[in-house]
Structure 1
Amino acid sequence: MTSQDILNHATKLASYNVLIQVVFRVQTFVLNAFTLRYISKEVIGVVNVRLTLLYTTVVFLAREAFRRACLSGSNERNWTQVINLLWITVPLGVVCSLLLSWIWLQLLEVPDPRRIPHYEIGVMAFGLSAVVELLAEPFWVVAQAHLFIKLKVIAESVSATVRSILTVVSVVLFPQWGLYIFAFVQLVYTGVLVLCYVIYFTKFLKSPESQKKSFPFSRLTDFLPKFPKNQPALDWKLSLLTWSFFKQSFLKQVLTEGERYVMTFLNVLNFGDQGVYDVVNNLGSLVARFLFLPIEESFYIFFVKVLERGKSAKQQPQEDVNMAAAVLESLIKLALLMGLTITIFGYAFSQLALDIYGGSVLSSGSGPSLLRCYCVYVLLLAINGVTECFTFAVMSKEEVDRYNFVMLALSLTFLSLSYFLISVLGSVGFILANCLNMGLRISHSIYYIYRYFRDSIHRPLEGLRLSPSLILVYIFSAVVTTFSEVVFCCDKGWLYRLIHIFIGALCFLAVFTTIFFTETKLISFAKTRLFPRYLKKDT
């Protein structure tokens, strides 16, 4: 498969992943607004912060390192050894689930059972659901490695839709059940997710397409662990790489979900405030999650397939380096433009968005300030996602090990800053600590990219530069929309709100037009390399 073919598949994968995230985030967005009218904000806080943190921690620790390691390299690999390695995620998940569930029940503050009953059931259900989801890991990795780009969309969309429907029906009919509802729905969600993968591969392995593609599996039992007689059960080189990523996984999880750990373990906010923070956080990350995360996941696969891990740019085939550098520069530029646009317009429309979404409960107090800070964080999140995507794809095992110490320092710094800033600034302190942490991570990735391409003709970091005219338009839009918010929003009626929205739309049109005429390299790259085969059927 050529570099261009891999790029075409990665582009499609990113697009489909964006679709998944749109479905997820819109469903969460609507679901939160709906459930707030039936379930107390304390229950929302326990579910969306405490229990979801348990679930995501178990899943991330048990599978993240295995995913990164097993997706590295080409398709020419010993799949029996890869499958054996991937099944280690299940017992590892069981251990993590039991240990963390005990901590959640015995060491953390237990909610008042009169206001939030059935907490123990919730903890056990969310811990079990994490283990259930890990059963799909061999199928997920095989699908990603062979670029089955539609499978993830189908599986996750179906399971998310089932979860949303069950939640809405249960909350309306049985609001008194409280955490029972979310525990049951979470188990159904992961069960449907695994079932979708099993059904898909059961049908695919019986199809002529499986033989046509020389698929390395012939029956469903090939996805189970085996112990071959004439070779080791595990690829030890791959296992060592997994171990390197595993040591990094916990640190990355702390950096990713740091504010939830601080809220959970240090009790700096009560459950009601945690619920409000989570709602605002979900609203602020709506665009970031369904745009930036899919791009990062999809193009990580592109980079690990095009470039060989641990080799410098000079040691790689120059055609592949040319392609990778062009893609990286364009992705950096795209992330920068999307992040700046969200930051500028999000800042001026934060109060209006919160007022429409949750009324005065969210739009008054610290809600708007929290969302404005989050808009700045989105810009850093966008750039970091792309730069770390490339960095982790080309790092050698030794570099990954060294970076673990950097992650440890960042984790300790972030947790200390979070605790200090929240005691001074409240929940806004979480966002500021995240911004500083993200800035440090970006600095490391940028330095790594600079060193990687230093001896080549490529300068992908040029993607961080903007034309003077575009900078002026951004500044003009920021000033005009901020002034418009002060004059027309948000307590003067819908007519004034519509005027504010209209002014914002005009400024957005000016920004988009300027991007089209000034960022010609990005536009040209999108036309010539990203989209020529965009609508063609997968081969």
Structure 2
Amino acid sequence: MADLKEPPGPTSPPSPPPPTATTTTRALRGASLLILLQILSRALTFIANQILLRFLTASLLGVSTQLEVYYLSVIFFARESLRVAIQRQDTTTLSASLPSSSSSTSTSSESAKDRKDGKSEDGKDAAAAATQAVINLSHLSLLLSLPLSFLFGRVYLSSLSLSTLQSTPYLVPSLYLYGLAAILELLSEPCFAVMQIRFQFGVRAAAESVATFLRCAVTLGIAVWGARTGREMGTLPFAVGQCVYAVGLLAVYLWKGWKLSGREGFSLWPRRLLLSGDEKQQREELEKDKSKVGGGKKQDLFVLGYFYRPTLDLASSLMAQSVVKHILTQGDTFLVSILSTPTAQGVYALANNYGGLLARLVFQPVEESSRSYFSRLLADSTTSPSPSSPSSTSPSSPSPSSPSSKPSSTALHQASTSLTTLLKSYLLLSLPLLVFGPPASSPLLTLIAGRRWTSSSSSATTVPVDSAPATLSLYMYYIPLLALNGILEAFVSSVASEAQVHQQSLFMTAFSLVFAGTGYLTLKVWGMGARGLVVANAVNMACRIGWCWGFVGRWFAERTGAGKTGEKGGKEEEEEREKNDGEGGKEKVRFGVLDVLPKPGAVAAAVVARSVVGRVVGAGQQEVVMGAKEAVWELFKIAGVAVPFVVAVAIAEREFLLSGYRALQGKRQQQKS
């Protein structure tokens, strides 16, 4: 410690940007880029899958879905909680806790350009050290993947029946390849974390685009080659394609990350981090904030000198929730594998792939970007240091999720407005889906998947009548629930304290029992097949939405002076916050059900359009085997009703649409200026 530089003053570490239009613009730009990426990659995957469906049976598709769940389980448990915790990491506190220059993140002497621009070498070193802390934590994902891949693989093999093992070629080698793919993909996690905290979404877009193209090309190539040579390839094309995807992802991330690390002065390998200043004083300050260090015990800020303790503690708390969340997310596959046949699993996988396409193209990228946006917005508004307040960079400053924290009224209003806008936009997008999705299911499947997936025959080469078209039709009613739950849980994960995370885990455990009970009734008692899974998922998702909605409402109420949330009364706290925030404190923060519901005119248009479509298309068309021409004609009639419906909704919601357009125009003008 003798040869270290003196720690910088309390105002030396770079503070994060305030919650202004810059953060919002970068988040919106990132979300737009991710949506475009999803559209392009999913379009490519979609085309490849349509060709693959000609070579697949329903049972083989069901087994490949199980392998994908194994792969996703390893990935999810190894990195999900760490990703969320890293996104919520307080960069101001972390930078203040790190040395201005250390052996782990030291850079070369200050360049002439830096001296000319007046940039501080100490500030660069602190930023590099903060990045190094993120990289160190990300390497834990790789360590977790090794035992997880082995454990889950053994569990999956033991659950397979002898008939499935004998009838599916290359099943065991495919399982090993999926495990290898998970480990290879997690090797890129440190680079991903660096790009994510720096809002460099372009790197992710490039990596996933290259990886997706390679996976589609290899998977399709092996399947076509096997069909032409008369070889039964089984699930091997999917497994090899997933390995190639992981290699492509790793190559692009390493290339970009290596160049950035050389320029910024951090390492992609784990490196030891040292405390700055008086270590004893820092420990005493940390003892005052028991929520960060676990009960006020004397602990170092960095575990083993590598891992930032507050972030690691939060990740540990999120791990229990991740287990329950993954069971709920992939529980449909677990349940159907226990209670149904591989053929039914394949049918549900088909409906899930097509029905969830909108969720993966639009909702998932928006959810990921929103999580980063809300975390940064509300954390920055609470913890942004003031030059005149040395204690503002103290590690013991409250987090935005703690009950005593009070984000500024401007940040609260911005967060409430953004969340309300997203939820209402989702509901408006859901209207045409609910109206035209169910009647369009059968003709769409005829054109996309082929007639044997919509046939009512019960032969060995076809699917039972109550499966693909009917399941996809019912799935359309489930998609709006997916959308609402995704954005609400993204907000909850951005602001919830550790105690609230534990509470959410308990409720999600209860919801998982509700899901299992509903699934047993629909699959075993009522014999609904794959449709029963959709019903069980919808019930579970409605429970999760209800809990998240209540949490969000309480969270805003506690921070807008509705009741006593601290030592002072709510009214006194509100007056003090308005005084500190100036004019921004006068903005009223609102979040309610009526603010997100569509206008009565839009709902009326949906009811009328649904009635007209039912008359035009005709009842019971889902069970009619039609050719390509008949399918196109049915879709054409549905489109004829859709056009006036969209116009009617646009008129009813003109105020909301115009306000959104003005907001986007204002952000573009701010960006240009």
TM over 0.5: yes
Q: Which deviates more from structure 2 when the two are superposed, residues 488-497 or residues 418-427?
A: 488-497
Say if 1:346 and 1:372, in contact at 8 Å, map to a contact too: yes
Q: Does 1:139 align with 2:195?
A: no
Q: Does 1:460 align with 2:460?
A: no
Partner of 1:291: 362
Please identify the structure whose Cα radius of gyration is greater: 2
Say if 1:163 and 1:188, in contact at 8 Å, map to a contact too: yes
Partner of 2:581: none
SS at match of 1:376: coil
Q: CA deviation at 1:244?
A: 1.0
Alpha carbons of structure 1 residues 505 and 313: separation in structure 2 relative to 1, 3 Å: farther
Alpha carbons of structure 1 residues 395 and 144: separation in structure 2 relative to 1, 3 Å: same
C-alpha distance in structure 1 between counterparts of 2:180 and 2:73, whole Å: 13
Say if 1:125 and 1:183, in contact at 8 Å, map to a contact too: yes
Say if 1:488 and 1:499, in contact at 8 Å, map to a contact too: no
C-alpha distance in structure 2 between counterparts of 1:358 and 1:393, whole Å: 39
Equivalence map 1:305-384=2 (5 Å):
305-308=376-379, 309-311=400-402, 315-364=406-455, 365-366=465-466, 367-384=468-485
C-alpha distance in structure 1 between counterparts of 2:368 and 2:494, whole Å: 11
C-alpha distance in structure 2 between counterparts of 1:422 and 1:116, whole Å: 25
Partner of 2:68: 52
Alpha carbons of structure 1 residues 505 and 112: separation in structure 2 relative to 1, 3 Å: closer
Q: Does 1:228 align with 2:359?
A: no
C-alpha distance in structure 1 between counterparts of 2:154 and 2:631, whole Å: 50
Say if 1:117 and 1:179, in contact at 8 Å, map to a contact too: yes
Aligned partner of 2:606 among 474, 486, 489: 474
C-alpha distance in structure 1 between counterparts of 2:646 and 2:669, whole Å: 25
Q: CA deviation at 1:487?
A: 6.8
Q: CA deviation at 1:449?
A: 1.7
CA RMSD of aligned residues (A): 2.5
Partner of 1:274: 345
Deviations 1:435-493 (A, max 9, x none): 00010111111111221223633223333322121111010111111222217956576
Q: Does 1:72 align with 2:119?
A: no
What residue identity is the alignment partner of 1:22?
Answer: I
SS at match of 2:476: helix
SS at match of 1:16: helix
Partner of 1:18: 35
C-alpha distance in structure 2 between counterparts of 1:406 and 1:324, whole Å: 25
Aligned partner of 2:651 among 517, 524, 529: 517
Say if 2:81 and 2:318, in contact at 8 Å, map to a contact too: yes
C-alpha distance in structure 2 between counterparts of 1:330 and 1:246, whole Å: 30
Say if 2:81 and 2:319, in contact at 8 Å, map to a contact too: yes
Aligned partner of 2:250 among 179, 194, 208: 194
Q: Does 1:28 align with 2:37?
A: no
Q: Does 1:218 align with 2:275?
A: no
C-alpha distance in structure 2 between counterparts of 1:311 and 1:228, whole Å: 27
C-alpha distance in structure 2 between counterparts of 1:408 and 1:495, whole Å: 48
SS at match of 2:27: helix
Alpha carbons of structure 1 residues 229 and 392: separation in structure 2 relative to 1, 3 Å: closer
Alpha carbons of structure 1 residues 347 and 330: separation in structure 2 relative to 1, 3 Å: same
Q: CA deviation at 1:316?
A: 0.7
TM-score by length of 2: 0.74
Aligned partner of 1:252 among 325, 341, 354: 325
Aligned partner of 1:242 among 311, 315, 335: 315
SS at match of 1:224: coil
Q: CA deviation at 1:84?
A: 1.8
C-alpha distance in structure 2 between counterparts of 1:385 and 1:162, whole Å: 29
SS at match of 1:307: helix
Partner of 2:234: 178
Q: CA deviation at 1:7?
A: 1.3
Q: Does 1:401 align with 2:485?
A: no
Q: Which deviates more from structure 2 when the two are superposed, residues 37-46 or residues 430-439?
A: 37-46
TM-score by length of 1: 0.91
Higher helix share: 1
What residue identity is the alignment partner of 2:170?
Answer: H
Q: CA deviation at 1:25?
A: 2.9
C-alpha distance in structure 2 between counterparts of 1:471 and 1:290, whole Å: 25
Deviations 1:386-429 (A, max 9, x none): 22221221111110111111111111221232132112211111
Deviations 1:132-168 (A, max 9, x none): 1111111111111110021111110110011111111
Q: Which deviates more from structure 2 when the two are superposed, residues 352-361 or residues 428-437?
A: 352-361
Alpha carbons of structure 1 residues 492 and 117: separation in structure 2 relative to 1, 3 Å: closer
Alpha carbons of structure 1 residues 240 and 79: separation in structure 2 relative to 1, 3 Å: same
Structure 1 residue runs of 5 or longer lacking an equivalent are: 211-216
C-alpha distance in structure 1 between counterparts of 2:657 and 2:625, whole Å: 41
Aligned partner of 1:203 among 228, 240, 259: 259
Say if 1:421 and 1:429, in contact at 8 Å, map to a contact too: yes
